[in-house]
Amino acid sequence: MFLNQLYNHRKTLSFRLTLWYALIFTLTSLLALSIFYYRISRITMENTDDELMEEFYEFAGIMDHEGRGELMAEFELEILEEAEESVFFRLISPDGEILKSSDMKDFSGVTVSVDALAALQNNKEYVIETISLPGHEYSVQAIYGTISPDIIFNMGMSLEDNYEYLSTFRNLIFMLMIPLFFIAAFIGWFLARHALKGVEEVTQTAIEISKGAIDKRVEVKRRLFEIDRLANTFNGMLDRIQSLIKGMREMNDNVAHDLRSPLTRIRGIAEMTLMGKESIEDYNEMAASTIEECDKLIEIINTMMDITETEAGVSPFKSEKLDIVELILSACELFDPIAKEKEVQLVTVLPDRLFLQGDKSKLQRLITNLLENAIKYNRHGGTVTISVNTDNHHVNIRVEDTGLGIAEEELSHIFERFYRCDRSRSLAGIGLGLSLAKAIAKAFNGDIRVQSVLDQGSSFQVILPA
């Protein structure tokens, strides 16, 4: 059980962030400490070299200012003072003969360096060498320096203290790595949990919503910008989903209402047919009525599918260069007989030509839907004006009528599917024309705006990219 929980936790983002943070922090710390260790080792060796040079210059000064006798006396004194230290002193002739030496029992393997003597003969002031002794754990740092034409000063120091100091420092580094890793892991876990707290809240909200709490939202607490952005995006998505669900419920109610009437009539016709008391003429009339009702149902279903496909972006969209003026004139010609029948005057305010990129069939449907509504809901003897202009890289198509008008409280609903204003329910229609027009405009990256005054008329403005 515990192993399963541990295995599952290993897959979480917080665990991986914690592990990566701990590893990167530990490796970075190890690199920094390694560089520091290297600098410390260089400094200790430089200090040893400085100490050797200081002794060399001290003996060279004595020889220059006080002579050979004082040099020998100082040499003996140094031997006595450094007797307990890991140090040796020697005075050597230029040909390598040892003139005087301290006790070399701890440095029995140290011979006179021929290379150092050769370098001094080439006018080099001093030479420092690191000597590795067979059978000894630690090396020796030695200096050779000329203090007079016939005397070479030689001093050596064991590097045991340096090695032990560096070894202690190195062990301390390795000892620090384990607690440092766990400290880094704890800090990483804390930071990961803090950073992902908002994500966890989004997850918990999603779980609650999946159980039916559709009104639940993620609280935006002004934390990290990315988390707040995620919360706002998630909340916006939930608002959209809730709006869609509400719209679907309303649409289902409207669909049920609009489908019930033709289905009821079809059923009534079928029942009358089964009774078998009608004449051939009656049967023909009933068949025609059935076809009419079926056509209405097919129109509703096809229009709903067109709206859904257009809104989802899966409807075929053929982009071509077309003349919007020509499309409007064709639509006016198509509806001219209907307008004359209702004594509605069609007025066009159009340029000679105006081109844009788009799908011809969809734009035709958008224009005809608006034009049909403007005529249908107009009064006898009214006017419908269609105009086109361009501004700021947009094409504006305006359809204005002098009809019934729309109440202010209904303006925000007229583009909803199956929505019909109270004053238009007595007229034929399925309540999907404006929904389809809006979907087509959105598919063109455009929009439709409406202004209306009751009993004075409405103005629909289609805004499309030029």
- Reported as a single tens digit per residue, the pLDDT across 188-242 is 787 777 766 767 777 777 777 777 666 777 666 666 666 677 777 777 777 777 7
Q: What is the pLDDT of residue 283?
A: 66
DSSP letter, residue 132: P
How many angstroms separate the CA atoms of 206 and 198, rounded? 12
Strand locations in 245-324, DSSP E? 320-323
Tokens of 101: 């030496």
Of 42-46, 65-69, 104-108, 143-147, the one with minimum mean pLDDT is 104-108
Q: Is the pLDDT of residue 128 over 70?
A: yes
Task: Please list, in sequence order, all residues whose beta carbon lies within 8 angstroms of the beta carbon of residue 49, skipping any fewer than 6 positions away.
Answer: 128, 141, 143
Q: Does domain 318-465 have CATH number 3.40.50.970?
A: no
Residues belonging to the chain: 466
Burial 282-310, CB ≥16 within 10 A → b, else e? eeeebeeebeebeebeeebeebbebbeeb
Q: What is the pLDDT of residue 367?
A: 93
Q: What is the pLDDT of residue 6?
A: 46
Question: Which class would CATH give 225-311?
Answer: mainly alpha
Strand partners, 321: 357
Sequence spans of domains, the chain: 2-164, 225-311, 318-465
How many angstroms separate the CA atoms of 27 and 31, rounded? 6
Q: What is the pLDDT of residue 15?
A: 76
DSSP letter, residue 395: E
Q: Find the mean pLDDT for residues 436-451.
A: 89
Topology agreement, domain 2-164 and domain 225-311: no
Q: Is the pLDDT of residue 293 over 90?
A: no
| Count of other CB atoms within 10 angstroms of residue 456 | 11
Of 4-13, 37-46, 141-150, 358-367, the one with minimum mean pLDDT is 4-13
Contact 280, 256 (CB under 8 A): no
Q: Find the mean pLDDT for residues 275-283.
A: 66
pTM, whole model, 2 decimals?
0.49
Right CATH number for 2-164 from 3.30.70, 3.30.450, 1.10.3470, 3.40.50? 3.30.450
Strand partners, 89: 155
Tokens of 385: 């004006």
Q: What is the mean pLDDT of the chain?
A: 81
Select the more confidently predicted residue: 360 or 8.
Answer: 360
Q: In the structure, what pLDDT confidence band is assigned to residue 1 with cuts at 50, 70 and 90?
A: very low
How many angstroms separate the CA atoms of 56 and 276, rounded? 136
What is the Cα 158 distance to its own chain's centre? 60
Q: Nearest to residue 458, comparing CAs of 406, 420, 418?
A: 406
pLDDT tens-digit profile of 355-366? Answer: 888 888 889 999
Contact 403, 374 (CB under 8 A): yes
Contact 375, 338 (CB under 8 A): yes
